[in-house]
A = this chain, B = another copy of it.
Amino acid sequence: MNYPSRLIEEAVNAFSRFPGIGRKSALRLTLYLLRQPGEESQQLAKAISDLRSKVVYCSSCHNISDEPVCRICASKTRDKGTICVVADLRDVIAIENTGQYTGVYHVLGGLIAPMEGVSPDQLKIQSLLDRVASGEVKEILLALSATMEGDTTGFYISKKLAGQPVRISTIARGIAIGGELEYADELTLGRSILNRVPFGG
């Protein structure tokens, strides 16, 4: 495609790098921006720029945060003896929305996926083992997608924790096999946390 302006072309190129956004959608977004007041573009540009340069990860659970220790880890009302292990931020948001979970989290930053070149040492698994080794933790609740990657990751973690005085559980398979956590409805996801079962059971 030939764009009449270099600025348009650059914006289209930038937008179309997003997953699921092709060049026609990117042009649509670009033209939408041009029709809006200038402040809206500046707001979006600032949000994007700040996001990458200012975002902080919680030193304990590795969730995205504004502080060195996230709101959940810093809360006095959350049970530090239970750690819910999830792949990423979206899973934390989904579980928090159920209002059923009172423990803390551990965000792995992905799932073990040899086909995509994601090995265990690229995930925050060692720091999870360190948290368990500190002795305060009573239960590890695995809340991973019911996919091959999720199962592999859960199995790997449970192997690494074998022999530790910690209970390993997994959310109940009320969620359809092959389903993504973030798309589960809140009732099902909440119930699956209440009905968690021993891992491997």
Contacts and interface: CB of A to CB of B under 8 A. Distances in A.
A97 interface: yes
How many copies of the shown chain assemble into the complex? Answer: 2
Interface in A8-24: 8, 10-11, 13-15, 17-20, 24
A42 interface: yes
A3 B52 contact: no
Interface majority SS (helix, strand, loop, mixed), chain A: helix
A30 interface: yes
Interface residues of A, number: 60
A133 interface: no
A14 B43 contact: yes
A17 B34 contact: no
A121 interface: no
A137 interface: no
B11 A18 contact: no
A2 B65 CA distance: 12
A104 to B, nearest CB: 12
